[in-house]
Structure 1
């Protein structure tokens, strides 16, 4: 038996010009999601159920880049992706290229529990969603004007999370025109020491149709085992190269590091020039976060009463 712990995130790489009212909205949403998770953990809900519950809430609120309010592709459509993993048996489910599913994280869980597969994408994931009777919506539900306006950069602003086409950021060694952070995720360890993790995103703003990032890739954007649960956010291509989430577990196992030490190590040593962040819990009730971007929307809590919500360092 151990004390529970929970952490949530809403993306790493925060616009330094983000209006104060938007910062407050983000902190309120993270706080609300933390208390949803805390309430569930206090009723002994298993970790896997809690991460799904919390990420569903984040997907439903249009503030961050997942579910409703997802970033748009170059064609003006949404292609959402999500994954969920349970640590005791390392079971997982993932989906990519989802366009009509209100809560991709729940579809990912159905892939894990109701199919012989672990990962479904595009038309196959959509067909499976209809077979399972999950709640669907048309494009008007996912595309919100507030999020669309916010993610198109304003000329002249100094922003580390978005760039104009004539002054592009570089990702994977090549320029990209727009970068939207705000992937969401949740990690939980319950009173039984069971770890779980879930991550959901709309991906890059203006991404090429068919692009798949780190969020649905087990070991990159999401990982859970008997030691820890991890959810990542930031530059997906850098996270993929680093297998960032799995690295946290690996250095705990092979180097004997504690959770925060492991998080600090992989953020410093494994991202090369990439910018990212992550949240993590350990099976003995620790919680940790780390990032090398200029900020990360995050919140965490433990059974002993600790709670913290923040954006900047």
Structure 2
């Protein structure tokens, strides 16, 4: 057994018409995040530190739906959420309803380590962030022109836009750059196992466009969007309500625990059988260093690497190396 890591930047109806330069930029970003995680594991950092670090970097990238790139609620505000879990001990922390915290994943870890609780939300989570001295900014920091435009389009179409939903073009043709897939941003996550056998999972998101204020998705729900135990670590992405109904992340672990499935068998069953097509993707690693990254959507931004030299970066079913 050696170290292994996998990460995602969201799953959904990702357009294959994405211009080549923008596709390459996404691939380069995934490679950068992967290298950060690999370097951490190579230098013997704990898996929990590695997944937090990788997700922090993803949160700081404006093209993914977490942290800086978080999409807007129906009132034009942000409500970020995150979760982190250490599989070997099942210690975990989660946060929701954040409006000023730069890196929600780090606040989730502080909830795990500095409180007797697992989950803090809204004003309580914001108060805790200030008490702990984590970096905060004015909420306007998260209101980007692209996200304002996405919210405008969603309101005009009178719909809620989930991860990577294509904006509806006017008159059958859109001149808006958001329609080419460049700004179809999604939930982020990372899972890892280190050389000491520690498993960890971390997930962060800004929800989905035009969601009701106060809606909480799958990301911070233990066993839905995020889960880890002594068998595996899982981070899911896609349509939160579908993921919560299927308890996606926990079901992968349960199939391994109670049915004796391999990680790939368990994840494939959950993605292909338990959740309707077009709703979910996940990344997972096992205690033996196995990796899997299945999805039943058009695509999923994803990357992985193992100590024995295997690596993969992909968006659709075809892979980039």
Aligned pairs for 1:191-206 within 5 A: 191-206=195-210
User: Helix, strand or coil for the counterpart of 2:219?
Assistant: coil
> Could you tell me which residue of structure 2 aligns to residue 126 of structure 1?
126
1:240 aligns with 2:244: yes
- Following superposition, the deviation at residue 20 of structure 1 comes to 2.8
Structure 1: which 5+ runs fail to align? Answer: 167-178
CA RMSD of aligned residues (A): 2.2
Partner residue of 1:266 out of 270, 280, 290: 270
- Following superposition, the deviation at residue 152 of structure 1 comes to 6.3
Distance in 1 between the 2:272 and 2:34 partners? 27
Q: Is the 8 A contact 1:83 1:215 kept in 2?
A: yes
Distance in 2 between the 1:140 and 1:74 partners? 15
Distance in 1 between the 2:73 and 2:53 partners? 27
Q: Is the 8 A contact 1:88 1:225 kept in 2?
A: yes
> Could you tell me which residue of structure 1 aligns to residue 35 of structure 2?
35
Number of residue equivalences = 298
Partner deviation per Cα, 1:98-119 (whole Å, 9 max, x = no partner): 0000000000000000011100
User: Do the aligned partners of residues 160 and 28 (structure 1) sit closer, same or farther apart at CA in structure 2, a change above 3 Å counting?
Assistant: closer
> Could you tell me which residue of structure 2 aligns to residue 256 of structure 1?
260
1:278 aligns with 2:282: yes
> Could you tell me which residue of structure 2 aligns to residue 84 of structure 1?
84
Partner deviation per Cα, 1:224-251 (whole Å, 9 max, x = no partner): 0000000000000000000000010010
User: After TM superposition, what 4+ stretches of structure 1 lie above 6 angstroms from structure 2?
Assistant: none
> Could you tell me which residue of structure 1 aligns to residue 55 of structure 2?
55
- Following superposition, the deviation at residue 160 of structure 1 comes to 6.7
Partner deviation per Cα, 1:79-107 (whole Å, 9 max, x = no partner): 00000000011010000000000000000
- Following superposition, the deviation at residue 162 of structure 1 comes to 3.3
Distance in 1 between the 2:93 and 2:250 partners? 16
> Could you tell me which residue of structure 2 aligns to residue 104 of structure 1?
104
- Following superposition, the deviation at residue 60 of structure 1 comes to 0.7
User: Helix, strand or coil for the counterpart of 1:215?
Assistant: coil
User: Do the aligned partners of residues 165 and 210 (structure 1) sit closer, same or farther apart at CA in structure 2, a change above 3 Å counting?
Assistant: farther
Partner deviation per Cα, 1:147-176 (whole Å, 9 max, x = no partner): 5446766999xx97235499xxxxxxxxxx
- Following superposition, the deviation at residue 181 of structure 1 comes to 5.2
> Could you tell me which residue of structure 1 aligns to residue 296 of structure 2?
292
User: Helix, strand or coil for the counterpart of 1:127?
Assistant: helix
**TM-score, L = length of structure 2:** 0.88
- Following superposition, the deviation at residue 21 of structure 1 comes to 2.6
- Following superposition, the deviation at residue 180 of structure 1 comes to 6.1
Q: Is the 8 A contact 1:180 1:204 kept in 2?
A: no
Partner deviation per Cα, 1:191-234 (whole Å, 9 max, x = no partner): 11111000000001010000000000010000000000000000
